[in-house]
């Protein structure tokens, strides 16, 4: 089996990554940074986001597993003290692969022949640099509302515990094929109105944002910040591709939610 390791590049993470690499090589696995079958992310959830985007071109062949060297994360759920146990499980192939939905983001330029597509593991946000964002929100080809405010966030189910939650979005179980649109400080008064509530959209829906004023947008795709000029529309849909995680033991999602947001012991 071929493996690769993504480290947060602090001293603790680098030392743990080197140990994991040596252990796996001792078990006869091959280090391959170009075409790994399994990627170990050593750091936090942000480190796994970097690993995901590094290998987003080969999601059908690569599975991810996270080791946290800080706070327990939703993606990085293995402790440094468990590294030997994890390595043995990888060497024995004693794990199952689970798949979670992703978000496809397509930026259509004013030049109709040009478009750019991204995949997001957590979320994508859109803002208008320096001014109020004004966009028409279309759902399945029909105008739903004209949004005015700071911005909009479209998240995946697995990303619903991240930025979307801080905006008042719902927590969605990551096995559900859906996406969630949440508002950032929308303008609501006697003249301008938005729905004012997060929208959970199933995988057969499409959401298109069309600019009303200003074709330049600051777009984020997970940790990536991208300035797009001359934008005609932005389309969101649940991607055909899925992210694959190597699961070695039960992963109680709601227990993780409890430990992260409710328990005082987390």
Residues carrying an active site annotation: 45
Please count the other Cβ atoms lying within 10 Å of the Cβ belonging to residue 37: 18
What are the φ/ψ torsions at residue 69 (nearest 5 degrees)? Answer: -115, 20
Print burial letters for 244-256: b (CB count within 10 Å at least 16), e (below 16).
bbbebeeeeeeeb
SS (H, E, C) 7-44: ECCCHHHHHHHHHHHHHHHHCCCEECCCCCCEEEEEEC
Q: Is residue 96 helix, strand or coil? A: strand
Categorise residue 240: left if φ over 0, alpha if ψ from -120 to 50, beta otherwise: alpha
User: Given the structure tokens 């493996």, which residue do they identify?
Assistant: 3
Alpha carbons within 13 angstroms on the beta-carbon side of residue 120 total 32
Question: Hey, what are 242's tokens?
Answer: 């899925």
């Amino acid at each position: 089996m071929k493996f690769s390791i993504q480290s947060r590049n602090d001293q603790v993470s680098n030392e743990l990554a080197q140990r994991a690499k040596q252990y796996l090589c001792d078990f006869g696995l091959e280090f391959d940074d170009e075409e790994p079958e399994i990627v170990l992310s050593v750091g936090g959830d942000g480190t796994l986001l970097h690993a995901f985007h590094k290998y987003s071109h080969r999601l059908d062949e690569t599975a991810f597993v996270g080791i946290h060297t800080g706070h327990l994360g939703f993606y990085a759920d293995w402790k440094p003290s468990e590294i030997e146990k994890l390595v043995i499980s990888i060497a024995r192939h004693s794990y199952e692969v689970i798949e979670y939905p992703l978000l496809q983001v397509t930026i259509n330029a004013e030049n109709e022949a040009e478009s750019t597509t991204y995949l997001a593991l957590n979320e994508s946000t859109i803002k208008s640099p320096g001014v109020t964002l004004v966009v028409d929100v279309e759902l399945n080809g029909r105008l739903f509302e004209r949004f005015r405010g700071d911005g909009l966030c479209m998240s995946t189910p697995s990303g619903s515990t991240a930025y979307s939650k801080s905006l008042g979005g719902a927590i969605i179980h990551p096995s559900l094929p859906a996406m969630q649109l949440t508002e950032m400080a929308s303008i609501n008064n006697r003249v301008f109105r938005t729905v004012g509530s997060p929208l959970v959209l199933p995988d057969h829906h499409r959401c298109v944002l069309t600019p009303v004023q200003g074709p330049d947008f600051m777009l984020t795709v997970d940790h990536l910040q991208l300035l797009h000029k001359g934008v005609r529309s932005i389309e969101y849909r649940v991607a055909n591709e899925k992210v694959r995680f190597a699961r070695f033991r039960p992963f109680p999602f709601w227990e993780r939610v409890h430990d992260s947001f409710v328990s005082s012991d987390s």
